[in-house]
Amino acid sequence: MAHRAGRGMRRPARRSGGGEPAGCDGRGRGVAARGRPRARPIRPSGPTTIDRDRPYSDRRRPTAAGPGRPVRSTRPTEPRRRTVTIDPAMPDAPSTLDRDTALLERLLGSVLVEQEGRAFRERVFWLRDKAAQLRADPEGTDAEELVDAIRRLSSSQLGPIVRACSMSLQLSNIAEELERLRRRRAHDADDQGPQRESLAAAAATTAGLSRDERARALADLDVALVMTAHPTEATRRSIFDHQQRAWALMETLDDPRIGPTRRRTFEDELRETLTVWWQTDDVRARRPRPDDEVRRTLLHVEGVLYDAVPDLLLELSRTLGVAWPPADTAGGSGDAGSSAATATGSSSVTTGATAGGATAGGARAGGATSATGATSAAGTPGTASGARRTVPTAGTGAAAGRAPIRFGSWAGGDMDGNPNVGPDTIAASLQRHRRTALRLLGERVDRLAVHFSQADDRVFVTDDLKRSIERDERELPRVTFQGASANEPFRRKLTFIAARLERAAQRGEGGYERVEELIADLSLLRASCSSTLVAHGRIARLLAQARTFGFLVAALDVRQSAGPLQHATAALIDGYADEDEAGRQRLLVEALEGPPGFAREVDDEDAATTIAGIAAVGRAIADHGPHAIGRLIIAMARQPSDVLCTQFLLRHTAADLDGGALPHDTPAVPIVPLFETVDDLAAAEATMGDLYATAPYADHVERCGGAQEIMLGYSDSAKDGGFIASQWGLYGAQERLVAQADEQGIAVRFFHGRGGSTSRGGGPHHRAILSQPPGSVRGRIAITEQGETLSQRYPHPELAVRSLEQTVSAVVLATLTPPAEPAPAYRAALDELTTVSRETYRALVFDDERFPRLLHQAAPLAELSEMNIGSRPAKRGGTTGVDGLRAIPWVFAWMQNRILLPAWYGTGTALEQGDRELQREMVERWPFFRTILSMLEMSLFKSDLGVAERYLELVDPDARELWTPIREEHARVQRVVLEIRGTPKLLDATPALQRRLAHRNPWIDPLSHIQVALLRRSRDGDEDAHGPLLSTIGGIAAGMRNTG
């Protein structure tokens, strides 16, 4: 089949004044305009007047933000960290944020008038204004007036009001994200020094270290961000698309060069977008299928992250002064995170020398790198020389020739409690990953072909590149060249590259089999650029994308719970189910050391389903290479046999693959135990110690490069023991596991299963990483990105770069300048806090028989399952009550009724009994405790027991009695936090954040009151209340910026 050269070569140039607005790409998404003059804040002039027709945010008088504070100098207990002054977080400019919010509310108001009438608009804004008055003057405002007004409206009348309030909150989110982008650009334009939490700030802080020390840290840098399919994103895809369009138009309107005529045009287009958004259903008609979750996950990569990563790597190289990839390493990342054999160092670029003798195949000696970056075939573990370092490392970072940041996904592979996920979804997900990756690469190769018009007499074309083109001509004789002259070798080579990518997508002859082959070809071009600028320009970006995302975009993780894995093993090994733990380990070791495979049919349907899911892991490796599966995670891991039986099932199913596609022994897929409860975290050291002492598993660790990844569960540990017990349990488990691994010579990496909310480990990555125990990071970390956090952290390429560099810079700092060991007095204080807080928490949540009724009656818990926000059921099968409820709906419910109980209950009693001066000292000197208090303070500020008390109207009288200890504990913890902080109000130390969060309440409060009314009506049989009730759940989630 003939292939036409440069599929994108005939595309017309993007217009700046035609169908799409300036500053937007062809799909209406915002495009960063580098070098564009920064928009100056539009400050209001003249007196501020109150006008009922103007939105609430437009009536507010801008408030002056306090001066920023420089970062506190580092204490001597954190050695070798240079004391620098980093530019503080710039407070929000009230004029620009209020201006954007006012514009959006004005346009929304006009949409409401057109669609529903002026009286409807007045009713919506009256509810908002009344809620604002109640907040400002609770004593002088009649709260019942607001409640009575809602009660008088029918369910059908409340539905549109819910949508209007929800939409306003979502528009506020857009305004805040645009303000983040504006701050970032303003900081860059004003040259105010390193931005806080940036890579430049990390470089300044570590400037006292030698170049070699920094280079070693970068060489071991391996940051994995794993996108999960957790059901916490309540926004429909269609609504999300309208939000993105509104985002892009608002960014365009921020351009000061736009005159009145074009501004009116763009405002009309924005009003049109809001109108279509208003006319779109905000609740999904059906529950998403796993394939829907896969597509949505990949959209975040395709739309934002794919083009953000090269900018991150450029900034990493620029600020830390170490070229990436290092000149003496093989460049490449394989299929979403492997290594290749192509050297692309700067020396070859500037001289035009050959690309390190790279071959077209790009194959490297030795085994393939596993998804943790460790060597996955037999051979020398650890470093290339085989020598172990004092600080264990699996050689997983840039020095191993792969990108220091990579991505994974659970969508389509998370079988834990989800009967909709299995072998078919694993295979289909990887196929979609592959199609997406090859399409993205092909599009960018086409664009590069348009740009690379160099003539052969203007550049130094290496002999390797000439031979490569000659080989392409022999192997792909039907490829034709339209517009590429014979003296344009770069275009000719890129045409062949595009052809091979197209054939790879079709699994056809002549197509690339591995991404290393593509990297080798691109490196040949780069070596012939005859210009450092060109070599470090677009082709370097494409190489970075190929190394980072490979042919799969992201590796697929497979997760299954320990229970089904044990059940499947019992179906294969006689007498296994009757043995105790020691007996099970003995049988598993015998099976692992014996011949592989069993000629046995499994009659148990559940066991057969689990076995088929594990078999899909081996099949995926056979089809897509050793990096297709990032890791095999064992949920609710408690004992060594949970891990050994998983290893056994991998080995058993690999041996039974048709055609012997894999070696008969266990595939070197990282087996990752997930310790989730407080007790399991405490026992993790003993569990791993038994595993390391078991010969078959020790061999497996060696085959994974001497590396062991361990996942830490934040959600279930917090649900099990409360916030402080969870945090301290996670901290202590990491300390013990690091010490144990160091003694064994094993490189341990922690995979942090963080959610969006505080009680599920949510919060800024930078602060969380820097609060980890000393020695627990060492350049490598894995973190989940769940649900709504993807949309919040990565809404725009520039903001994505900012979020990514906050994460990476924290890893660099935690590696080069780890925190000091906590003082014995600090440990003793946390031990006591943990004991008291856990006892207080469990006495209410697990020991009081009235509590489950309080939970189910005072929150829309049953209704959450009808939101259709995820493919996984909300409850674990076979269990009831709090124990059977998954962590996400557990947190989601308390977020909806504004109590946020899991985030703070029990901490007040514990903190009150402690030494206040010692607690203040811990906040000052210990990053871990400082982070705990910050997360606690944020949760308290978001909670509102005044509004929450309305939900008690739905609760049985005896269960309602539990409100007294809840209210008392809330008052207690708030009082103690303020005493420790030394401030009169919560978040006084961060006024910009305080103001942003408070601004949302006048819109959230009516939604909460409406939700209470609709819950009552729905439970009384009013069918008209059901739809609006589900809409209140999404609206409150948007306002709180958290679901679960």
Q: Which residue has the higher pLDDT, 98 or 552?
A: 552
Q: Which of 296, 505, 302 is nearest to 410 (CA)?
A: 296
Radius of gyration of the chain from its Cα atoms, rounded to whole angstroms: 29
Residue 487 structure tokens: 């003296």
454 pLDDT more than 70: yes
Residue 915 is predicted with a pLDDT of 97
Give the Å distances, CA to CA, from 97 to 177, 262, 821, 844. Answer: 10, 22, 42, 42
Q: Is 34 left (phi over 0), alpha (psi -120 to 50) or beta?
A: beta
The answer to whether the peptide bond before residue 860 is cis (omega within 30 degrees of 0) is: no
Confidence class of residue 886 from pLDDT cuts 50, 70 and 90?
Answer: confident
Mean per-residue pLDDT for 980-992? 93
81 pLDDT more than 60: no
Residues with Cβ within 8 Å of 362's Cβ and at least 6 positions away in sequence, in order, are 332, 340, 341, 342, 514, 516, 517, 518, 519, 520
Q: What is the pTM of this model?
A: 0.83
Q: Are strands 629-635 and 671-675 parallel, antiparallel or unpaired?
A: parallel
CB atoms within 10 A of CB 389: 13
Contact 830, 951 (CB under 8 A): no
Three-state secondary structure readout of 186-212? HHHHHCCCCECCCHHHHHHHCCCCCHH
Give the Å distances, CA to CA, from 261 to 14, 248, 257, 258. Answer: 22, 18, 11, 8
Residue 191 is predicted with a pLDDT of 75
Mean per-residue pLDDT for 901-927? 97
| Total domains present in the chain | 2
117 pLDDT more than 70: yes
Q: Are residues 973 and 880 in the same domain?
A: yes
Mean per-residue pLDDT for 179-207? 88
Angle CA 310–312–315, to nearest 5: 110
Residue 698 is predicted with a pLDDT of 97
Q: What is the DSSP letter of 304?
A: I
Contact 912, 977 (CB under 8 A): no
Asked if residue 682 is part of any domain, the answer here is: no
Question: What residue type is 33 in one-letter code?
Answer: A
d(CA 534, CA 530): 8
d(CA 669, CA 681): 23
Asked if residue 1035 is part of any domain, the answer here is: yes
Q: Are residues 892 and 1010 in the same domain?
A: no
**pLDDT tens digit sequence for 841-855:** 999 999 999 999 999
Question: What residue type is 410 in one-letter code?
Answer: W
Contact 333, 339 (CB under 8 A): yes
Residue 53 structure tokens: 């027709």
The whole-angstrom distance between residue 132's C-alpha and the CA centroid of its chain comes to 34
Residue 491 structure tokens: 């275009």
911 pLDDT more than 80: yes
Residue 435 structure tokens: 């199609």
Any idea which residue has 């949970």 for tokens?
642
Phi (first) and psi of residue 224, to 5 degrees: -110, 125
375 pLDDT more than 90: no
- Note if 719 is an active site residue: yes
d(CA 719, CA 846): 10
- Partners of residue 226 on adjacent β-strands: 408, 784
Q: Are residues 843 and 959 in the same domain?
A: yes
Which range is least confidently modeled, 28-32, 228-232, 642-646? 28-32
Q: What is the DSSP letter of 986?
A: T
85 pLDDT more than 80: no
Residue 168 C-beta-side C-alpha neighbours within 13 Å: 34
d(CA 289, CA 872): 9
604 pLDDT more than 80: yes
3-state secondary structure of 534: helix
Which range is least confidently modeled, 16-25, 124-133, 569-578, 782-791? 16-25
Q: Are strands 222-227 and 747-753 parallel, antiparallel or unpaired?
A: unpaired
Phi (first) and psi of residue 485, to 5 degrees: -80, 160
d(CA 968, CA 959): 16
- Note if 130 is an active site residue: no
708 pLDDT more than 70: yes
3-state secondary structure of 165: helix
Q: What is the DSSP letter of 388?
A: P
Confidence class of residue 837 from pLDDT cuts 50, 70 and 90?
Answer: very high
Catalytic member of 187, 719, 765, 999: 719
Contact 409, 400 (CB under 8 A): no
Confidence class of residue 93 from pLDDT cuts 50, 70 and 90?
Answer: very low
Confidence class of residue 342 from pLDDT cuts 50, 70 and 90?
Answer: very low
Asked if residue 918 is part of any domain, the answer here is: yes
Which range is least confidently modeled, 29-38, 255-264, 500-509, 703-712? 29-38
Asked if residue 828 is part of any domain, the answer here is: yes
Q: Are residues 864 and 832 in the same domain?
A: yes
Q: Are residues 1008 and 901 in the same domain?
A: no
Q: Which of 374, 388, 426 is nearest to 700 (CA)?
A: 374
Catalytic member of 3, 130, 187, 230: 230
> Alpha-carbon torsion 432, 438, 442, 445, what sign?
positive
Q: Are residues 899 and 1040 in the same domain?
A: no
Q: Are residues 893 and 1042 in the same domain?
A: no
Q: Are residues 108 and 254 in the same domain?
A: yes
Mean per-residue pLDDT for 516-524? 96
Buried b (16+ CB within 10 A) or exposed e, 239-261: bbbbbbbbbbbbbbbbbeebeee
Residue 281 is predicted with a pLDDT of 84
**pLDDT tens digit sequence for 251-288:** 999 998 999 999 999 999 999 999 999 999 876 666 77
Domain range spanning residue 981?
A: 824-989
d(CA 299, CA 944): 35
The whole-angstrom distance between residue 1040's C-alpha and the CA centroid of its chain comes to 18
Mean per-residue pLDDT for 727-736? 97
Mean per-residue pLDDT for 129-134? 94
Contact 777, 814 (CB under 8 A): yes
337 pLDDT more than 50: no
Q: 306-320 vs 211-219: helix axis angle to the nearest 10?
A: 160
3-state secondary structure of 828: helix
Q: Which residue has the higher pLDDT, 441 or 668?
A: 441
Residues with Cβ within 8 Å of 880's Cβ and at least 6 positions away in sequence, in order, are none
- Partners of residue 632 on adjacent β-strands: 558, 671
Q: Is 384 left (phi over 0), alpha (psi -120 to 50) or beta?
A: alpha
Buried b (16+ CB within 10 A) or exposed e, 577-612: eebeeeebbebbbebbeeebeeeeebeeeebebbbb
d(CA 788, CA 755): 9
Q: Are residues 873 and 921 in the same domain?
A: yes
- Of the chain, the percentage scoring pLDDT greater than 70 comes to 78
Asked if residue 861 is part of any domain, the answer here is: yes
Q: Which residue has the higher pLDDT, 252 or 887?
A: 252
Asked if residue 1011 is part of any domain, the answer here is: yes
CB atoms within 10 A of CB 560: 26
**pLDDT tens digit sequence for 621-679:** 999 988 999 999 999 999 999 999 999 999 888 876 654 444 445 458 999 999 999 99
Confidence class of residue 330 from pLDDT cuts 50, 70 and 90?
Answer: very low
Q: Are residues 1042 and 908 in the same domain?
A: no
Q: Are residues 835 and 957 in the same domain?
A: yes
Q: Are residues 902 and 954 in the same domain?
A: yes
Q: What is the DSSP string of 578-633?
A: GS-HHHHHHHHHHHHHS-S--------HHHHHHHHHHHHHHHHHHHH-TTSEEEEE
Residue 43 is predicted with a pLDDT of 36
Q: What is the DSSP string of 789-814?
A: HHHHH-SSHHHHHHHHHHHHHHHHHH
Asked if residue 948 is part of any domain, the answer here is: yes
Question: What residue type is 42 in one-letter code?
Answer: I
Residue 324 is predicted with a pLDDT of 54
Which range is least confidently modeled, 340-349, 728-737, 815-824? 340-349
> Alpha-carbon torsion 921, 922, 926, 931, what sign?
negative
Residue 54 is predicted with a pLDDT of 40
Residue 872 structure tokens: 């996984």
The mean of the pLDDT values for the chain is 82
Residue 376 C-beta-side C-alpha neighbours within 13 Å: 28
